[in-house]
Amino acid sequence: MDTIIISPDNVAELSGKDVTLLCKTSDGAELYWAKSDDRGQSWTYIAIGDEVIGDPEKYEVDTTENNVTTPGVYNLRILDLVLQDAALYRCQHLILFENVYAHAIVMGESQF
């Protein structure tokens, strides 16, 4: 039985915008967020539970669902996108190590 019941979707957004990657567990457990710039060969942890261990100017963790703090909800918000934010992101169950993934693609203004 999967415990991660809401998985992040791949996103594509313009630089300068913010994006949110959704992740929720059925058992209320905390989640890790990590980023890989090299297609999953190595990972940098961004957040554990609702604590950002990466750059707090770049990342936020939202634990609300419908404006109510909800156990098991750990949505990663990436602020003010730049090209270096384009990467593979992983949401991981803290105890069971179940993983789900999403790609973030950042587009420059000149592409439109």
Q: What span, in angstroms and rounded, lies between the C-alpha atoms of 52 and 71?
A: 17
pLDDT at 104: 93
* The pLDDT of residue 109: 62
Q: What is the pLDDT of residues 32-46, one digit of tens each?
A: 999 998 888 899 999
CATH classification at residue 89: 2.60.40.10
pLDDT value of position 1? 60
The number of folded domains in the chain is 1
**pLDDT greater than 50 at residue 23:** yes
What pLDDT, on the 0 to 100 scale, is given for residue 20? 97
**pLDDT at position 9 over 70:** yes
Could you give the CA distance from residue 64 to residue 61 in angstroms, rounded to a whole number? 9
For the whole model, what pTM was predicted?
A: 0.91
Sheet holding 11-14, edge to edge: 11-14, 99-107, 87-93, 31-36, 44-48, 51-52
CA distance 99 to 92: 4
SS3 109: helix
For residue 101, the enclosing domain spans: 4-111
User: How many C-beta atoms surround the C-beta of residue 108 within 10 A?
Assistant: 11
Residues 36-74: pLDDT tens digits? 988 888 999 999 999 999 899 999 999 999 999 999 999
Q: Kindly report the CA angle at 28 between 22 and 34, in degrees rounded to 5?
A: 45
